[in-house]
Amino acid sequence: MTFAQFMELALYHPEVGYYRRTLARVGYAPGTDFFTASTSGAIFGELVVAACVHLLGTQNPKDHTFVEIGAESAEGILAGVPHPFCATRIIRSGEPIKLTGRCVVFSNELFDAQPCTRLVFRRNRWWEIGVQESSGSLVEVELPSDYAAAGTENYHFDQPIAATALAESIAQQSWTGLFVAFDYGKSLRELTEATPAGTVRAYHRHTQSNDLLSRPGEQDLTCHICWTWLANALAQQGFPSPQIDSQEAFFIRHAATFIETTAAVEANRLSQRKLALLQLLHPSHLGQKFQVLHALR
């Protein structure tokens, strides 16, 4: 099978897929595999609310439903967080995505967990990487590909095609409002010129690995998304001028008042809340690791 088919099964098989099993995937506790911005607690949701209200501008947040797609926790990022929206809604992984009316459509690390197509340039052409069983083990094989472009020997191009298709399916539905996606990715130029080893990685017990075929269903597989493709998908569906910021820049630009107030309250103590805010904003932590794509329609 292709690697994309393998990744789909490993992550989303209804019985043994990594994101279908009842696992404690996120956090710092023993047995978890990774942490995200939501691990920082309620302050992440508070920052998101402040930024979304700012981005809505003259649109009244009370007219909008906050929709979180692919929420890791049952309650979502707004659990216990005061907000001005008329309602909140969670669409779990695997559930149909149906959007109407006025919405704030939010996701956190949704798109990097979509199956990707892996290509490698060898012997003057591109090959698609596949997965085959051999003597009781899973091994990579090269399959013919019709992808036609210049290449460099042994260069890997991991195409986040499914992530782009998901963005298109969300954007083409009949809803208006704000799209906000937190994730990590690169421009098309970076993916085709600056990542010769590709971007697909496995995560198990907070350790990054290139052993993508081991522990199927028991480890996370991620692929950097292509911000160029996602922004174009939104623009083609009537979102003028989609913007991409680092997480740090996004919050500083759109949640400045909240940050200033929180920093003032916590100025004289090293509280857990202050540490969480620093972790979310500092460039050496999550501030530059993650980016945010946002657009208003």
CB 84 within 8 A of CB 61: yes
For residue 252, the model assigns a pLDDT of 96
Decide which of 3.40.50.12710, 3.30.450.20, 3.30.465.10, 3.40.50.300 is the CATH code for 3-296. Answer: 3.40.50.12710
Report pLDDT digits (tens) over 18-55.
888 777 766 667 777 566 666 667 899 999 999 999 99
pLDDT-derived band at 74 (thresholds 50, 70, 90) equals confident
pLDDT-derived band at 273 (thresholds 50, 70, 90) equals confident
For residue 35, the model assigns a pLDDT of 60
Query: Do the bridges between strand 243-246 and strand 291-296 make them parallel or antiparallel, or are there none, so unpaired?
Result: antiparallel
For residue 32, the model assigns a pLDDT of 75
For residue 34, the model assigns a pLDDT of 67
pLDDT-derived band at 99 (thresholds 50, 70, 90) equals very high
What is the rounded average pLDDT of the residues 83-97?
A: 94
What is the rounded average pLDDT of the residues 68-75?
A: 84
| Domains of the chain by residue range | 3-296
Does pLDDT of 216 surpass 70?
yes
What is the rounded average pLDDT of the residues 217-222?
A: 93
For residue 268, the model assigns a pLDDT of 77
Higher-pLDDT residue of 140 and 71 is 140
Burial class of 23 by CB neighbour count within 10 A (0 to 12, 13 to 18, 19+)? middle
DSSP string, 12-27: H-TTT-TTTS----BS
For residue 206, the model assigns a pLDDT of 81
Does pLDDT of 269 surpass 80?
no
**Dihedral sign of CA atoms 184, 188, 194, 197 in order:** positive
| Percent residues over pLDDT 90 in the chain | 77
What is the rounded average pLDDT of the residues 182-209?
A: 94
For residue 38, the model assigns a pLDDT of 66
Q: Taking the model in full, what pTM does it have?
A: 0.93
CB 44 within 8 A of CB 77: yes
**What whole-number distance in Å separates Cα of residue 74 and Cα of residue 112?**
20
Amino acid at 151: G
What is the rounded average pLDDT of the residues 77-96?
A: 94
For residue 94, the model assigns a pLDDT of 82
**What whole-number distance in Å separates Cα of residue 116 and Cα of residue 33?**
20
E-strand stretches of the chain: 65-69, 87-91, 101-108, 117-122, 125-134, 137-144, 156-159, 175-183, 185-186, 201-204, 207-209, 220-222, 225-226, 243-246, 291-296
Report pLDDT digits (tens) over 116-128.
999 999 999 999 9
Q: The tokens of 277 are what?
A: 């805010």
For residue 36, the model assigns a pLDDT of 66
Report pLDDT digits (tens) over 111-157.
999 999 999 999 999 999 999 999 999 999 999 999 999 999 999 99
DSSP state of 100: -
CB 210 within 8 A of CB 265: no
Higher-pLDDT residue of 188 and 273 is 188
Tokens 């091994």 -> residue: 139
For residue 116, the model assigns a pLDDT of 97
